[in-house]
A and B are shown apart, each in its own frame.
Chain A
Amino acid sequence: MRRTIPLFITTAAGVVLVVAYFVPWMSALGETVSTWFNILAAIAFILGGGNLMKMNLRKISDRVPGWGYSVVTLVAFVVTLAVGLAKVGVNPLPEYPSYAWSGEFNEQGSAFWWIYEYTWKPLTATMFAMLAFYVASAAFRAFRAKNIEATLLLGTAFLILLGRTYAGVWLTSWLPEDSPLRIELLSEFVMETFTTTGTRAIMIGVALGVVATSLRILLGVDRSHLGSGRN
């Protein structure tokens, strides 16, 4: 029963969503299934929050290496949650001036907005900016001309990089504007012809893989996400 019921729910929801895509009068039913998923995900967030608290409190209690990070995590979590739920610094809506909590929790100037703007955003931007260094180190390794294939890859990458910068335009600016040998046009050609071809081939494979995987799950052939089918 523990696997039969989830499998039944999965199959029913999956079939409804597929049918709703093709049968117009069932689209409302498809939306209902999606809404149910959103409700489940929202409830599960409480589970996630509870798990976060439990895991970090245990790390602090056991004084595991790096427990200080858990303190920072918990403080950030509790403060953000409290500030958002209590709507600290939020002004009442003009329509309901006597209700202190009638404003939006993320209103400009509120404590939650402040945390979002001056803590969350800079931290996220920092992590994203670090990507540039990771790209550089990965490119350094990937573009080593070890063999013919790697050399071709290096040459193509160099051409594309050059074609995306002004240096590429400047280097072949002496050629006629419609010359296919101009680096920016060569770069476009490689992107539109070879890259698009490869990408489409992968996407066709992905689409077929999605269909086959969905069928395996809907038909109950693959139950590994619910447990082994053998036990």
Chain B
Amino acid sequence: MTVVHPPSSAVPGLLAGADPPFLSCLAWDAGAPWLLAAAGEAPKPFLGFLDPGRLWLLLLLAIVCAGVVACIGLARSGRPMKVRRMPALDAVDEAVGRATEMGRSVLFVPGLMDMNDIETIAGLTVLGRVSRTVAEYDAQVEVPTARSLVMTAARETVEAAYLAAGRSDSFNPDLIYYVTDEQFGYVAYLTGMMSRQKPAACFYLGKFFAESLILAETGNAIGAIQIAGTAEVSQLPFFVAACDYTLIGEEFFAASAYLSGEPDQLGSLKGQDVGKLFAASILVVGTALVTVGSILGPESAPAKAAAYLVGEILR
């Protein structure tokens, strides 16, 4: 175990001279006990049940989760949940319909990452909804993947969607296939395939990096209707510039719930709003504290409270 003096991973409010005074030395190593010592005394191992440095995060997470669960409960009890319209998702039917009319396929790209990435999972949940629409329109959806596990999961998702639409005989597992794990190898395949096959609708929903603009520009060049969604902030401008519709950040995570229309899922979206309200409250309180603190001086209570908010609660 590494003992750091003063510890780099220590909780600043619990250092020597702070209250309580016995927590003068804290060091952290994954899975190992904490070292606690009174000022001037030898450190003693102490295995706490909870990581003290993450207590505030746990509390914030609990509040948001409670909000989501409460709203799911409200939705189940029959309270109507109104969710604002999302043009990008309303355009799914239009995009698939266009592909059907033109006799071309629908391309769905679930991003570069594996199944341990929440954006990939969010992308696949949308794939389930899109595939269902595709099955109902009797069109074809092609899903080239960059990870083997994503291919397997996508096959299950699309097959279930075809089953749900009553078109299990139309399901073709060969349209969901593995290309390569390599970022630019994957992009080279996709752009070549798009240029040759000219899919009428392209969906890019998942985790994307530098390839986002290459894909979106190629789709634009072939005249496809394009719907993109990612939580990768640095790639959003590229999708906004080159795609017809873009699901920005939280919209991407809300897409599956929105498309399902199920009260449970719409309730969870309302729960997100509780979290947003909470975040906005912290923003307002924090701004007020910093403003008043800067007027009254760094030793004033508002300035100390602002420092605690930034250094402890939001760190």
Q: Does B69 contact A (CB under 8 A)?
A: yes
Residues of B within 8 A of A215 (CB): 65, 68-69, 268, 271
Known: A51-B151, A138-B238. A204 touches B276 (CB 8 A): yes
Query: How far in angstroms is the closest Cβ of chain A from B148?
Result: 3
The number of chain A residues with a CB under 8 A from chain B is: 66
CB-based nearest A residue for B116? A37
A217-231 contact mask (Cβ, 8 Å, vs B): 1 or 0: 101011011111111
Cβ-neighbour of B184 out of A127, A139, A222 (below 8 A): A127
CB neighbours (8 Å) of B268 from chain A are 212, 215-216, 221
Beyond A27-B30, A215-B69, whether A48 also contacts B148 by CB under 8 A is: yes
Closest Cβ neighbor of A203 among chain B residues: B233
B153 and A206 form a contact (CB under 8 A): no
C-alpha gap A83/B150 in the complex (Å): 27
Question: How many positions in chain B have a CB within 8 Å of any CB in the partner chain?
Answer: 90
Closest to A34 in B: B116
Contact check, A22 vs B50: say whether CB atoms are below 8 A apart: yes
Set B152, B157, B164, B214: member contacting A134, Cβ < 8 A:
B214
Chain B residue contacts of A213, Cβ below 8 A: 118, 121-122, 125, 253, 256
Tell whether, in the assembled complex, residue A52 and residue B252 are in contact, meaning their CB atoms are under 8 Å apart: no
Please, which residue of chain A has its CB at the minimum distance from the CB of B238?
A: A138
A202-B236, A211-B65, A215-B268 known; A224 vs B252 contact (CB < 8 Å): no
Query: Is there a chain B Cβ closer than 8 Å to A170's Cβ?
Result: no
Known contacts: A134-B214, A202-B236, A226-B156. The answer to whether A210 contacts B124 by CB under 8 A is no
Q: Digit string of B90-124 for contact with A (CB within 8 Å is 1, else 0)?
A: 00000000000000000000000011101001101
Contact partners of A21 in chain B: CB under 8 A:
51, 54
Say yes or no for B139: interface residue by CB 8 A criterion. Answer: no
Q: Are B31 and A48 in contact (CB under 8 A)?
A: no
Contact among B48, B174, B184 with A55 in the assembled complex (CB-CB below 8 Å)? B174
Q: How far is the CB of A228 from chain B (nearest CB, A)?
A: 4
A39 to chain B, nearest CB (A): 11
Residues of A close to B178: CB separation below 8 A: 47-49, 51-52
Q: Which of B156, B217, B260 contacts A222 (CB 8 A)?
A: B260
| B 143-159 to A, binary, CB cutoff 8 A, 1 in contact else 0 | 00001110111001101
Smallest CB–CB gap between A89 and chain B, Å? 22
Candidates A28, A45, A51, A224; contact of B128 at CB < 8 Å? A224
Taking a contact as CB atoms closer than 8 A, the residue among B149, B164, B236, B241 that contacts A44 in the complex is: B149
Check A205 for interface membership: any CB of B closer than 8 A: yes
The answer on a CB contact under 8 Å between B252 and A128 is: no
A214 to B49, CA, bound (A): 24
**Would you give the shortest CB distance from A126 to chain B, in whole angstroms?**
8
B55 and chain A: residue at smallest CB distance: A22
Residues of B within 8 A of A58 (CB): 174
A-chain residues with CB within 8 Å of residue B156 when the two chains form the complex = 225-227
Cα A208 to Cα B231 with chains together (Å)? 11
Q: Is B248 an interface residue (CB 8 A)?
A: yes
Chain A contacts for B174, CB-based, 8 A:
55, 58
Interface core residue of B49, B196, B249, B252 (most chain A CB under 10 Å): B249
Complex: A141 Cα to B30 Cα, angstroms: 50
Q: Which residue of A lies closest to B146 (CB)?
A: A48
Cα of A229 to Cα of B33 in the assembled complex, Å: 43
B47 within 8 A of A: yes
* Cβ contact within 8 Å between B250 and A208: yes
Q: Once the chains bind, are A228 and B132 in contact (CB under 8 Å)?
A: yes
Q: A212-B271, A212-B275 are in contact. List 6 more A-B contacts (CB 8 A).
A: A25-B49, A48-B178, A134-B217, A142-B240, A206-B233, A212-B253
Where the two chains meet, the residues of A that have a C-beta atom closer than 8 Å to any C-beta of B are 21-25, 27-28, 31, 34, 37, 40-41, 44-49, 51-52, 55, 58, 65-66, 69, 120, 123-124, 127-128, 130-131, 134-135, 137-139, 141-142, 199, 202-206, 208-217, 219, 221-222, 224-231
Nearest 6 CB-CB pairs, A to B? A227-B160, A209-B253, A48-B148, A205-B250, A224-B128, A44-B148
A-B contact pairs, 5 of them (CB 8 A): A28-B31, A31-B30, A37-B116, A204-B279, A228-B164
